[in-house]
Chains A and B, each alone.
Chain A
Amino acid sequence: MKILGAVVVITASTMAGWIYSSLLKKRIKIIGDIIQALHWLVTEIGYATVPLMEASSKISGRIQGEARIIFSGFTEELLASKGLIADEAWQKNLAACRKKLFLHNQDWMILENFGRTLGNTDREHQLSAIRQNVERLKVQEEEAIKDQEKNEKLYRYLGIAIGALVILIFY
């Protein structure tokens, strides 16, 4: 029985370590997808002058990963036509996305600030705001890659180590 308990504890803690380390990878993927989406947004606005809702709808159809909900939710908020301006629709959707996507606070802050520039300026300023945010997100992406390289193995071993420690203490 004791052995069975020990196996369960060590499996659970190892799994927890693996899951947390995999989140580091997910963050990189999400930020990368958002950067790609913003590049598409530059194309839609810069070359075709497509309205924001249409551009966001197109982008949400093209993104494959989890970051899709940032644009699909935003499109839905705009479509609901409850008198929300773009910034309000963006922030409302981001609040819902926070529960579903693994991103750091700094990442969310960049996304929140990005929303404040949406749809309320001329084309030149709109494109410049998107590009600035792409640069900021690239910095976050690099930081996320370093974080993964540095801590991925650490979290996995930590999971096993904590499991082992618990077994040593209680048995």
Chain B
Amino acid sequence: MSFEKNILPYLAPKIRGIVESIKQNYPGIWGKLEEIRLRAERPLQIEIGDSLLVTAEGRLTADQTQAFIVTQEEVIRTLQLIGGNSLYTLEEELKEGYITLPGGHRIGLAGECLVEQGSLVRIKRITSLNIRIARELKGISHGLLPFLMEEGRPLRTIIISPPQAGKTTLLRDIIRCFSNGEQLPFPVKVGLVDERGEISGCYQGVPQLDVGIRTDLLSGCPKREGVFLLLRTMGPQVIATDEIGRPGDLEIIEEILNTGVGFITTAHAWDTKDFSARPSLRKLWFHGLVERVVTLSRRFGPGTLEGIWDGRTKEQIFSRVQRLR
């Protein structure tokens, strides 16, 4: 499995031993592991839908007193191993707050920050690592694709969900299907601006996850610059980006609309009500700028499809709640 090869060697030896014991003790949940969380002087924790603590023997527990306590030294050691013993190569990552590993797995960082003139320079003392295991679920978007095309044209689509409900995984699969023409009458040229490298799982510039054969990828590039660059140079039929919602993102969407190119993106929101209430996103909904809104939740686990809405009529056009597999 990719994460065994691409994550375990980077863990501090003691933590690695414990995580390997989880595999022996609970082979059934090993494949469902979503996150491993290391916090200095706090219990070792894993996410498998629920958040569970881990004992020194690799047993899962809810009892804090039984849990293995991660030391600051182990956090730093893990960080150094992740950084190939070369933290000086990670200055940009320490500023952005995440590191990508081979296989597209993502390490989120938190700790004490160094700030100069009101701007974050970097996280200088890392005390928390969140190791997010990237899963590539090919084909999960097949059932949705007919709703995302109209008269041979990809519709302007946004996928909304609370965190960790599978937005990026679904977006990646839609991009792949568009790009390969999978389950579609013809393929679509996709321009992907992967600002945080999470969709393509880019490691040293090479996508680790399949984003299709007709996808032009800009990794680590700010959305605005990336979108304009792709529109000018690559002639995409669809622009794909991850997680809009910051000030200025709406203008980018409007620019894409002006060029007649489609887009597909994601946003954090619980449901369409929450989505339409967010100041930075409401215009998308009320002005009918998006044609399809796909909502996900964790009701039956990550990747539960709650419904699909027509953004122009505000009507729900698909309502069967199901887990995308």
**A-to-B contact residues, CB < 8 Å:** 45, 49-53, 78, 81-83, 85-86, 89, 118-123, 126
Contact = CB atoms under 8 A, between A and B. Distances in A.
A122 B85 contact: no
Chain B, interface SS category: helix
A121 B81 contact: no
Nearest to B17: A83
12 contacts: A49-B89, A50-B89, A51-B89, A52-B85, A83-B11, A83-B13, A83-B16, A85-B77, A120-B80, A120-B87, A122-B94, A123-B91
Interface string B2-22: 000000010111001000000
A104 to B, nearest CB: 28
Contacts, number: 52
Going nearest first, the 4 A-B pairs with the smallest beta carbon separation are A119-B85, A86-B85, A83-B13, A123-B88
Contacts of A118: 85
Contacts of B77: 83, 85
Interface in B64-94: 76-77, 80-81, 83-89, 91, 94
B17 to A, nearest CB: 10
Interface of B: 9, 11-13, 16, 76-77, 80-81, 83-89, 91, 94, 122
Contacts of B11: 83
A106 B84 CA distance: 30
Nearest to B91: A122
B319 to A, nearest CB: 50
Given A50-B89, A83-B9, A89-B85, 4 more contacts: A52-B85, A82-B13, A85-B80, A86-B86
Contact of A121 (B9, B12, B87): B87
Contacts of A49: 88-89
A19 B248 CA distance: 74
A50 B86 CA distance: 8
A133 to B, nearest CB: 16
B306 to A, nearest CB: 43
B16 A119 contact: no
A52 B83 CA distance: 10
B155 to A, nearest CB: 42
A89 B87 CA distance: 16
Given A81-B9, A83-B16, A122 B84 contact: no
B37 to A, nearest CB: 19
B85 A53 contact: yes
Contacts of A52: 84-86
A81 B13 CA distance: 10
Contact of A122 (B9, B13, B16, B122): B122
A51 to B, nearest CB: 4
B93 to A, nearest CB: 12
A85 B122 contact: no
A27 B96 CA distance: 46
Contact of B88 (A82, A85, A126): A126
Contact of B86 (A51, A81, A82): A51
A86 B84 CA distance: 9
Contacts of B86: 51-53, 86, 119
B119 to A, nearest CB: 16
A123 B86 CA distance: 9
A151 B263 CA distance: 79
Contacts of B13: 82-83
A85 B83 CA distance: 10
Nearest to B79: A120
Contacts of A119: 80, 83, 85-88
Nearest to B92: A49
Contacts of A82: 13
A99 B251 CA distance: 67
Nearest to A126: B88
B74 to A, nearest CB: 11
A133 B188 CA distance: 57
A45 B90 CA distance: 12
A87 B88 CA distance: 15
A114 B13 CA distance: 24
Contact of B84 (A45, A51, A121): A51
Nearest to B90: A122
Given A122-B91, A122-B122, A123-B91, A83 B85 contact: no
A81 B6 CA distance: 12
With most chain A CB atoms within 10 A of its CB, the pick from B12, B16, B85 is: B85
B252 to A, nearest CB: 30
A99 B94 CA distance: 40
Contacts of A126: 88
